[in-house]
Amino acid sequence: MRIAHLVLPLALIAGACDSKDTKAAASEAVEKAKSVFADFKQGAQKELGEAKTSLEELKAKAAQAAEEHKPELDKLVSDLEVKRQELATKLTELKDSGAEKLDQAKRDLEPKIAALKEDIRVALDKLKP
């Protein structure tokens, strides 16, 4: 659900209700937005944690690979870890974002997290005996 959709009705309610109702509606909209953000952040953090675990597994398997493949695998692990860290940083920066920025960040981060997990899965599959 887009967070902007939660806030827009608030503006409409504000014009139609007295100040007590407006404050209650505003409070409810803010709490709903906080809840949506918390759910998104928790899910994204869980996925990034899973990606970190998979990267550790990939790193261990890369260490056991043939010497000729180690530089390539080490670079792959390093590149994937940089991507994971960048996504984690972006997620942390969302704390002070407004509803519209959060919505945009969700659309941006969700596919990037999925792509990271897929890249790690493909790399692990390549290292299977």
Does residue 46 register a pLDDT over 80? Answer: yes
Provide the phi-psi class of 2: left if phi over 0, else alpha when psi is between -120 and 50, else beta. beta
Domain count for the chain, please give it: 1
User: In this predicted model, what pLDDT tens digit does every residue of 10-45 receive, in sequence order?
Assistant: 555 555 556 777 778 778 877 887 787 788 888 889
Does residue 50 register a pLDDT over 90? Answer: yes
- What is the predicted pLDDT for the residue at 84? 95
Is 87 within 8 Å of 116 (Cβ atoms)? yes
Expressed as residue numbers, the domain containing 27 is: 3-126
Confidence band of 86 (pLDDT split at 50, 70, 90) = very high
What is the pTM for the complete model shown? 0.71
